[in-house]
Structure 1
Amino acid sequence: MDIRDLDRRAGAVLGEVIMQVRPEHLWFPTPCPDWTVRGLLRHIVSENEGFAAAAIDGSAPVQTWTGGRLGDNPAGAYRRSNVGVADAFADGGALDRPIEVREFGTFPRRVALTFHQLDCVVHAWDVARAIDVPYDPPDDMVEMALGLARRIPDTDDTRGPGAAFERSVKIPGGASDLSTLLALLGRNPDWMSPLD
């Protein structure tokens, strides 16, 4: 499986969810603590810009990873940033070249794309849940993301306030792969907006 293809498809699925965000949704709460829909979209655009810059230059300053702008067209900002990721990783023979991925460390570009693909799958759920639209990602996307999520340490040093992920949450045995993925990354799969 070519991780670039899987990542492009995951980015497209996330884009389909973002296209459903209306202006009144921007201030809705999300499953991500302390983020409204607007804040989450800005984070997604920033991450895309960070991944793209790191893929080209080997690393990117923190301002790139955090400085994304939505303007008055969040879906357009997302589309542009997502194309930037695909273009930056398009060169065929360079997936083993190392790049620095923010606070996570330095990895081969193929592993960095796996992190990006995980972000797309999980943040699509965050946005879909916040604006109350259906979300049913393809199994191969969830499977790849779940494999990575199982390898991310769940310790006080790597999880919690200020970290990329919250501590994992317990869910019943027999949960779906998507619910397991969400729980491993600190989300309650049964999260409901307080606005409902």
Structure 2
Amino acid sequence: MKLVELHARAVDLAVEVVDTVRPEKLDRPTPCAGWTLRRLLAHCVGQHLGFAAAARGAGPDLSLFADAPLGADPAEDFRRTGADLTAAFREAAAAGRALWLPEVRADQPFPFAQGVGFHLLDTLVHGWDVAAALGGTGRLVAAVDGDDALAGTLLAVTGAVPDTPEARGPGRAFRPGLVPGGGAGRFERALALLGRDPAWRAQGA
């Protein structure tokens, strides 16, 4: 399956999780230190908008990736902007367009496939963050592990993320990697390598 369609599958899985968010849950903590579920969704929607703009030819404008204000139905915001991003990636694939992603580097664009891989990883990891905040990651983990192409791509992209003091830690996208537990599936191995504890649970979830 082409990378763009694997990314679309990742978005669909994340949408299934986000669709279960209820307004009274938006202030729950998430595995992203200091971020509530509301803040996490605002970040995700902002990333959808920024990557879609990049896919349509925008230059290195960091403001395009800012957290987005959420409407009355954050799940609908996530769903709508995710669908638009899928369309934008398909357009960019057809055009052979590189992506300016100034959050990562501002001096040159990334090859299209590498940029899509970045967002595929973010989509699945943040989908897991939402599921963990709500108290149930099993369905998402099983869906990813049950899709050989998707799980393999996630692990491949994860393996390319530098795990150095300069790249990980406070203020960075990921914390230093953890050692995956025995018997961990591919999704949980990816989470651990990115510094997520697959056993994380929100208090009271």
Tell me the TM-score normalized by structure 1.
0.92
Q: Which sits farther off after the overlay, 17-26 or 162-171?
A: 162-171
1:5-44 correspondence runs (5 A):
5-44=5-44
1:157 match:
166
Q: Which amino acid in 2 is paired with 1:94?
A: A
Give me the whole-angstrom Cα distance separating, in 2, the residues matched to 1:60 and 1:194: 39
Q: Deviation at 1:173?
A: 4.0
Q: Deviation at 1:130?
A: 0.6
- Structure 2 gap segments, 5+ residues each: none
2:80 pairs with 1:80: yes
Identical aligned residues as a percent: 38
Q: In the alignment, is the contact (CA less than 8 A) between 1:29 and 1:193 conserved in 2? A: yes
For 1:115, what is the secondary structure of its paired residue? helix
- Structure 1 gap segments, 5+ residues each: none
Give me the whole-angstrom Cα distance separating, in 2, the residues matched to 1:82 and 1:130: 20
2:130 pairs with 1:127: yes
Q: Which of 82, 106, 111 pairs up with 1:108?
A: 111
2:154 match:
145
Structure having the higher strand fraction is: 1
Give me the whole-angstrom Cα distance separating, in 1, the residues matched to 2:151 and 2:59: 27
Q: Which amino acid in 2 is paired with 1:131?
A: L
Tell me the TM-score normalized by structure 2.
0.88
For 1:27, what is the secondary structure of its paired residue? coil
2:95 match:
94
Q: Deviation at 1:110?
A: 1.7
Q: In the alignment, is the contact (CA less than 8 A) between 1:117 and 1:141 conserved in 2? A: no
Q: In the alignment, is the contact (CA less than 8 A) between 2:62 and 2:103 conserved in 1? A: no
Give me the whole-angstrom Cα distance separating, in 2, the residues matched to 1:155 and 1:73: 38
For 1:100, what is the secondary structure of its paired residue? coil
Give me the whole-angstrom Cα distance separating, in 2, the residues matched to 1:107 and 1:181: 22
Give me the whole-angstrom Cα distance separating, in 1, the residues matched to 2:59 and 2:43: 18
Q: In the alignment, is the contact (CA less than 8 A) between 2:19 and 2:75 conserved in 1? A: yes
1:186 match:
195
Give me the whole-angstrom Cα distance separating, in 1, the residues matched to 2:102 and 2:150: 22
Q: Deviations over 1:41-77 (max 9, x none)?
A: 0111011111001111243522221131211110111
Give me the whole-angstrom Cα distance separating, in 2, the residues matched to 1:107 and 1:159: 20
Q: Deviations over 1:16-44 (max 9, x none)?
A: 10000001110001111111111110111
2:49 match:
49
Q: In the alignment, is the contact (CA less than 8 A) between 1:121 and 1:137 conserved in 2? A: no
Q: Deviation at 1:169?
A: 1.5
Q: In the alignment, is the contact (CA less than 8 A) between 1:69 and 1:77 conserved in 2? A: no
Q: Which sits farther off after the overlay, 57-66 or 156-165?
A: 57-66
Over the aligned positions, Cα root-mean-square deviation in angstroms equals: 1.6
